[in-house]
A = this chain, B = another copy of it.
Amino acid sequence: MQKYLFIYNDMKNRILNGEFVANEKLPFEKDLCISYNTSKMTIKKAFDLLVEDGLIIKKRGVGTFIKDINSKEMERLIVTSQFQGLTSTNPKNKITSKILKFNIIPADSDIERQLNLTPDSFVYDIHRVRYTNGQPTVIEQTYMPIDLIVGLNKTHLKNSLYKYIEEELNYKIQSAHRRVSVRKATEEEAQNLELQVGDPVAVAEQVAYFDNGRAFEYSFSVHHYNFYSAQFIVTK
C-alpha cells in the first residue's frame, strides 16, 4: 500500500476512534513527517484526503484541526461509499429483482448521445423492479452497449449487474455522473412500487463509467420515496 494511503487510513481511524476530539489541534505536518518517516508532500496528500472527507480542516499559518462534526455525521463517514447498484449496501438486506423487460434494441438518439455510441449501435434495454426484503424500493431502466457488456442473461439480472460486470467481465467501475429530481409517480410506477398514483418518487438519471473512461451504463431509477436518500458534500 502507498504511504499516503496508509497515513490517510491510519489518521482516519485515529480520528474516528476518538483519539483526537472536536476542534483539537492535530500534530503539525512537520512533526508527522518525522513520526511517519516521510516527506511533507506525502503527509499533505494524506491530509488532503481527510479534508475531502470533511474530517479535518487546515489553516495556513496556524495548524490542522479536527472538524467539529457531530456523531451522526461520524456514522455516515464510517459507513461511507454510496456507490452500488443497490445490491450489497447492507449485507443484512436481501435484494431481489423482478424483470419487466430484457431486450436488445437500437439505441435512440438520446441513448446514443449519453453513451457516446456510433450510429446504429444496439443496447440492452433492461427494466427491473428491485426489492429489499420483499419491499419494492426502486424501478430501474438501464441501457448498456451490447458490445461492451457481453454474455448478459436473466440470471445476472436477478442478482447484481455490477457484480457481473466487475467479477465476471473484470471491468473496473470508476464513477457515475448522477442527476436527481423529484416528481409524482405514474400509474405504472405506483403499481410496481406499491404506491398510489401521485405519491412522491425520486428519479436518478445516471451515466456510469469504467476506469478507462468508457460510458457503459445510462440509467433511470425511480425510487419509492420512503427508500431514497443521498448524501454528499458540496464545496464552494
The quantity of this chain's copies bound in the complex is: 2
Cβ-defined contact, A182 with B202, below 8 A: yes
Instruction: Give A184 to B83 CA distance when docked, in angstroms.
Output: 26
Contact B229 A73 (CB under 8 A): no
Within 8 Å CB of A5, what residues of B? none
Q: Is A7 an interface residue (CB 8 A)?
A: no
Q: Does A94 contact B (CB under 8 A)?
A: no
The answer for the CA separation of A177 and B69 in the assembled complex, in Å, is 10
CB proximity of A53 to chain B, nearest CB, Å: 10
Q: Is there an interface contact between B223 and A73, defined as CB atoms closer than 8 Å? A: no
Question: A113 with B59: in contact, given A178-B232, A183-B200, A213-B23 (CB under 8 Å)?
Answer: no
Could you list some 26 contacts between A and B, CB below 8 A? A22-B116, A54-B175, A57-B213, A68-B116, A68-B215, A70-B116, A71-B113, A83-B236, A174-B235, A175-B236, A176-B233, A177-B231, A178-B234, A179-B230, A180-B180, A180-B229, A182-B182, A182-B201, A182-B202, A184-B199, A184-B225, A198-B198, A200-B200, A200-B225, A202-B202, A230-B230
- Interface residues in chain A, defined as those with a beta carbon under 8 Å from any beta carbon in chain B: 22-23, 41, 54, 56-57, 59, 65, 67-73, 76, 81-83, 113-114, 116, 173-184, 198-202, 207, 209, 211-215, 223, 225-226, 228-236
The listed residue with most B CB atoms (<10 A of its CB), out of A67, A180, A212, A213, is: A213
Q: Which residues of B contact A180 (CB under 8 A)?
A: 180, 229-231
Contact between B57 and A211, CB atoms less than 8 A apart: yes
Given A67-B213, A223-B182, A234:B176 Cβ within 8 A: yes
